[in-house]
Amino acid sequence: MENRSATWPDDVYASFKAHDVRQLVYVPDAGHARLIELAIADPDMEATPLTSEEEGIALLAGAWLGGQKGVLLMQSSGVGNCINMLSLTNTCRFPLLTLITMRGEWAEFNPWQGPMSKATKSSLENMGVQSFRVEDDVDVAPTVDAVATQVFAGDQAAAILLGQKLIGKKEWSR
């Protein structure tokens, strides 16, 4: 069953606002498109596109040092780019909240997405990042709210893995 509701990104964004998130850093991704659009349109949010996912960890560390909360949006394929930089969260003990759209799963057209998809959860957890998987649209916003509370209150690192079935089938276009 594909996602039943396209409103979960709006609910997630409301959770970001409730937690006073001021920085949203991202690598462009269709699965995060609505969240990115909302951040770009919000004068109280700094939306920063990245050339590579690990830049987001450094930017969020700086945002935290400057007194602001932030969120990193990326695909599962980007987790592999972040492995070394994730050590920064443990060493410096700053909060890291990341939402990760999973690729290499349900109806995936690109076989290159498969290996990192299989390794995403264990890679994160091996680097000290707790992960929470969400498959159902009704669970996304409550999970984001709960995990954001945990991350920002306890200076922890956590990832929310958004299943590919939730974000919808990716289409290849030439």
pTM: 0.90
Mean of all residue pLDDT scores within the chain: 89
Average pLDDT over residues 155-165: 93
Which whole-number Å values give the CA distances from 168 to 6, 96, 137, 145, 171, in the listed order? 10, 26, 11, 22, 9
Q: Flag whether pLDDT at 116 surpasses 70.
A: no
Asked whether 29 and 78 are in contact (CB, 8 A), the reply is no
Query: What are the residue ranges spanned by the domains of the chain?
Result: 8-167
Asked whether 24 and 71 are in contact (CB, 8 A), the reply is yes
Average pLDDT over residues 121-147: 95
CATH superfamily of the 8-167 domain: Thiamin diphosphate (ThDP)-binding fold, Pyr/PP domains (3.40.50.970)
User: pLDDT tens digit string along 24-48?
Assistant: 999 998 889 999 999 999 999 999 9
Separation CA 151–CA 20 (nearest Å) = 13
* Continuous segment of H or E residues that includes residue 75: strand 69-75
User: pLDDT tens digit string along 53-97?
Assistant: 999 999 999 999 999 999 999 998 899 999 999 999 988 999 999
pLDDT at 68: 98
Percent of the chain at pLDDT exceeding 90: 71
Q: Beginning with the edge strand found earlier in the chain, give each strand of the sheet holding 69-75 in spatial order.
A: 46-49, 21-26, 69-75, 96-101, 157-162, 130-134
